[in-house]
Amino acid sequence: MSLDKSRRIVFTGSAGGIGTMTRPLLAKLYPGLVLSDRVEPKDLQANETFVKADLTRPEEVAAVVKGAHSVIHLGGHSVEGSWDQILNANIIGCYNLFEAARTADVKRVIFASSNHAVGFYPRKRKIGTDVTVRPDSRYGVSKAFGEALGALYADKHGMAVTCLRIGNVGYKPLDVRRLSIWVSPEDLVQLFQIGLEHPDIRFEIMYGASDNAASWWDNSRAHKLGYRPTGRAEDHRAHAEAEQKKIGPDPVGDVFQGGTFTSAEFTNDVKRAGP
């Protein structure tokens, strides 16, 4: 894999939690990364370029992607929210990003999807990337929408689109659920690299997960594309189990992969939920 490092790569959502963890790693690989968000990152470096943009404003999105070769799209509302919040930031905003990218002849887009697009699959079932989406929240619905939109722009307009169903990004898993879905910042950046550089990308869905023995996901497609995660959730099991004891049981969330996203606002019988 190779990429002309002088090509303009735009990174939306750069001031958020994932952006903050991955930016220093990306900066070493891709000098001149163009950062974008509604607010400027607090630790902006001298060699970093920041362009403010609100995803709900098409003209601002168009300005930030102008001249770009690739976009890493992490921007949007990052947790469950009201319908208006999700609609504006994650659905309208996502459309604005893809359409601006098409108009600007952007070649590649990496879309930050989420495990919550498939959160109602039971924990006892291992799933691949080809399953029917079973979102666990309005947030999860917006990620399923983004995947569908990515497929449209890949098939209709020839854009190379990579959707990453990200688990939980951090320096170690924070509870037992995260032993199955954890991804280190280094491993996530490795997936970004595949999306930016691999010559065979047309439309791909991969799971954003490290080398987790307790994983609920078959990530073999990512491995075929060269993914070699170095993070191991099992190395942090003692910490995760100790933290889990502080949380207590969740009769709904403990059944499904989406955890508390499934139990929030839940009014169904747990036996009738999920596939």
What pLDDT sits at residue 3?
56
* pLDDT (tens digit per residue) in 116-168: 999 999 999 999 999 999 999 999 999 999 999 999 999 999 999 999 999 99
Give the orientation angle of helix 138-157 with respect to helix 93-103, to 10 degrees. 20
3-state secondary structure of 204: strand
Contact 75, 13 (CB under 8 A): yes
* pLDDT (tens digit per residue) in 27-44: 999 988 999 999 999 888
* pLDDT (tens digit per residue) in 46-85: 778 999 999 999 999 999 999 999 999 999 999 999 999 9
Task: Give the predicted TM-score (pTM) of the model.
Answer: 0.96
Separation CA 265–CA 275 (nearest Å): 19
Which DSSP string corresponds to 94-119? Answer: HHHHHHHHHHTT--EEEEEEEGGGGT
- Structural domains in the chain, CATH included, are 9-272 (3.40.50.720)
CA 215, distance to chain mean position in Å, is 17
Separation CA 151–CA 96 (nearest Å): 15
Catalytic residues: 139
Residue 184 pLDDT level (bands cut at 50, 70, 90): very high
The total of other beta-carbon atoms located within 10 Å of residue 174's CB is 17
Separation CA 129–CA 112 (nearest Å): 14
What pLDDT sits at residue 234?
97
What would you measure as the largest C-alpha separation in the chain, in angstroms? 55
